A and B are shown apart, each in its own frame.
Chain A
Amino acid sequence: MDGHFRAFSFVDRITRPGMNVRGLYQIPSGIAEFPLALAAEACGQLAAWTGMAAHDFKLRPVAGIAPVVELLAPVRPGQLLELESDIDSLDAEAISYNALAKVDGVPVLRLQHCVGPMVPVEEFDDPSALKQRFELICGAGALPGAFNGLPSLPLEVTAVDPGKSARALLHVPASAGFFADHFPRRPVFPGTLFMYQVTELAARVAAGVAAPSGNTSWVPRRINDTKLRTFIPPGTGLELEARLAKQEGAALTIHVEAKKDNRVTGHSRIVFMAEARA
């Protein structure tokens, strides 16, 4: 079946369109996991619908800059995500917004000051299909349950200096289901999956740092200053380097940089907090 609006779409229904857009996404119960990065994707997609509608589906935003992503609580398959995106500014060059995802009214993820550069829709997707989809999700809503989960995205860790740094190769798959949806005319590795992967590598570094007390472990709580400098097409190999940048009491900051042919293609700073083990 065509993966458009199925393989990587995370807004089932828009309950209030506009600059303070609200929506819902039912996480399918049959999948193994739903990383918080995908809740971030859902918030971004909600904002993107407002951006596209405002430009009559001629322009769309893509992932660019995420200054602050707060990882507040895990989400599980079967839960209903309540999505809020408040648009600060929107023009032909960019959209900027703050967003929140909640489960049962409790915040699970917050985005602050995100910026998405605008690109021509036609290069990436079918404008009329997007318009039809927008009408559907603003009305009766889409049938939930289309997402089948993420494919395995293995990191090839090539070097670890425990507690200090780690290097890895991120092999963006040459083909994966989500590329049919992100995006049909020009497949691009989603920025939120980039964040997911760099957080995984940062966790390898954090694991080598002694926690402040015996019954605590490092938990990723914020992803700061993420910026994607270029589109990452299928089949790309990225060199990731994670480095301990700062340790202050119960907080660790790890800087991760991605390079392709010695050019920095993206970076993030991941903040881990020492928390009592569950």
Chain B
Amino acid sequence: MSNENITQEEISAMFPKAAEMIADALGCDLEKVQPTTSLINDLGAESIDFLDIIFRLERGFKVKIPRGKIVEQARGPLSAAEFEAGGILTEAGVARLKVYLSEVPPDRFQSPLKVSEIPKLFTTETFCKLVIRQQRAAPAGETPAA
């Protein structure tokens, strides 16, 4: 699924409501949830929080977000072997991830990068894009919530 043509306008429109849901899920002040905030490193999010955020976004935007498939989506056209080896992203994998997570400042991509550490890169914008992709993927006839 292509995501590179998600516009900044779409993300900006999504951001206020998504940020509010993320702040509620993490029990933090709304001001702390900025577009490039890393949810794990900056706000201390844990796996249960990601689950909470995903379900809040699903309810709030009336979309179904495929759980456990974010890494699969990030891989795009690459095979699993092209994307990672022994739990470490390949050079091609990192390049692909930088495209998929284009909202993440480049200096946050550590080298080597473990697959298990990918969620540390997720920002508020990552979740906005996730919702936008699912809204676009909604079956014909279903009107995603604004």
B7-43 interface code vs A (CB 8 A; 1 in, 0 out): 0000000000000000010010000000000000000
**CB atoms of A64 and B51 under 8 A apart:** yes
Jot down 8 A-B pairs with beta carbons below 8 A, ordered by A. A64-B48, A65-B52, A65-B55, A92-B68, A93-B51, A94-B55, A115-B51, A229-B49
> Which residues from 84 to 108 on chain A have a C-beta closer than 8 Å to any C-beta of chain B?
89, 91-94, 96
Shortest beta-carbon distance, A141 to chain B, in Å?
A: 33
**CB atoms of A225 and B48 under 8 A apart:** no
A228 part of interface (Cβ distance < 8 Å): yes
Shortest beta-carbon distance, A28 to chain B, in Å?
A: 33
Instruction: Please indicate the chain A residues that have their CB under 8 angstroms from the CB of B68 in the complex.
Output: 91-93
Known contacts A65-B55, A113-B55, A115-B55; A229/B67 CB under 8 A: no
> Which residues from 110 to 131 on chain B have a C-beta closer than 8 Å to any C-beta of chain A?
none
Instruction: Please indicate the chain B residues that have their CB under 8 angstroms from the CB of A227 in the complex.
Output: 48-49, 52
Instruction: Please indicate the chain B residues that have their CB under 8 angstroms from the CB of A96 in the complex.
Output: 55
A110 part of interface (Cβ distance < 8 Å): no
A117 part of interface (Cβ distance < 8 Å): yes
Cα–Cα, bound, A64→B47 (Å): 11
Shortest beta-carbon distance, A69 to chain B, in Å?
A: 15
B136 part of interface (Cβ distance < 8 Å): no
Instruction: Please indicate the chain B residues that have their CB under 8 angstroms from the CB of A65 in the complex.
Output: 48, 51-52, 55
Q: In chain A, what residue has the closest Cβ to B55?
A: A115
Interface size on A, residues (CB 8 A): 16
A267 part of interface (Cβ distance < 8 Å): yes
**CB atoms of A225 and B24 under 8 A apart:** yes
Cα–Cα, bound, A94→B64 (Å): 13
Question: Which of A89, A91, A227 lies at the interface centre, i.e. has the most chain B CB atoms within 10 A of its CB?
Answer: A227
> Which residues from 155 to 202 on chain A have a C-beta closer than 8 Å to any C-beta of chain B?
none
Shortest beta-carbon distance, A119 to chain B, in Å?
A: 12
B46 part of interface (Cβ distance < 8 Å): yes
Which of A92, A113, A229, A267 is within 8 Å of B59, CB to CB?
Answer: A113
Cα–Cα, bound, A94→B67 (Å): 9
Cα–Cα, bound, A93→B67 (Å): 7
Interface residues of A (CB under 8 A from B): 64-65, 89, 91-94, 96, 113, 115, 117, 225, 227-229, 267
Cα–Cα, bound, A231→B48 (Å): 12
Interface size on B, residues (CB 8 A): 13
Instruction: Please indicate the chain B residues that have their CB under 8 angstroms from the CB of A92 in the complex.
Output: 68
Instruction: Please indicate the chain B residues that have their CB under 8 angstroms from the CB of A64 in the complex.
Output: 48, 51
Which of B27, B48, B59, B64 is within 8 Å of A117, CB to CB?
Answer: B48
Shortest beta-carbon distance, A270 to chain B, in Å?
A: 14
Shortest beta-carbon distance, B130 to chain A, in Å?
A: 15
Given contacts A117-B48, A267-B27, 13 further A-B contacts (CB under 8 A): A65-B52, A65-B55, A89-B64, A92-B68, A93-B51, A93-B67, A94-B55, A96-B55, A115-B52, A117-B47, A225-B24, A227-B49, A228-B48
Cα–Cα, bound, A28→B49 (Å): 37
Cα–Cα, bound, A91→B66 (Å): 10
Shortest beta-carbon distance, A192 to chain B, in Å?
A: 17
Shortest beta-carbon distance, B10 to chain A, in Å?
A: 25
Instruction: Please indicate the chain A residues that have their CB under 8 angstroms from the CB of B51 in the complex.
Output: 64-65, 93-94, 115, 117
Instruction: Please indicate the chain A residues that have their CB under 8 angstroms from the CB of B55 in the complex.
Output: 65, 94, 96, 113, 115
Cα–Cα, bound, A228→B47 (Å): 11
Which of B27, B49, B52, B67 is within 8 Å of A91, CB to CB?
Answer: B67
Cα–Cα, bound, A193→B63 (Å): 33
Instruction: Please indicate the chain A residues that have their CB under 8 angstroms from the CB of B48 in the complex.
Output: 64-65, 117, 227-229
Q: In chain B, what residue has the closest Cβ to A115?
A: B55
Cα–Cα, bound, A225→B24 (Å): 9
Instruction: Please indicate the chain A residues that have their CB under 8 angstroms from the CB of B59 in the complex.
Output: 113
Instruction: Please indicate the chain B residues that have their CB under 8 angstroms from the CB of A94 in the complex.
Output: 51, 55, 67
Instruction: Please indicate the chain B residues that have their CB under 8 angstroms from the CB of A225 in the complex.
Output: 24, 27
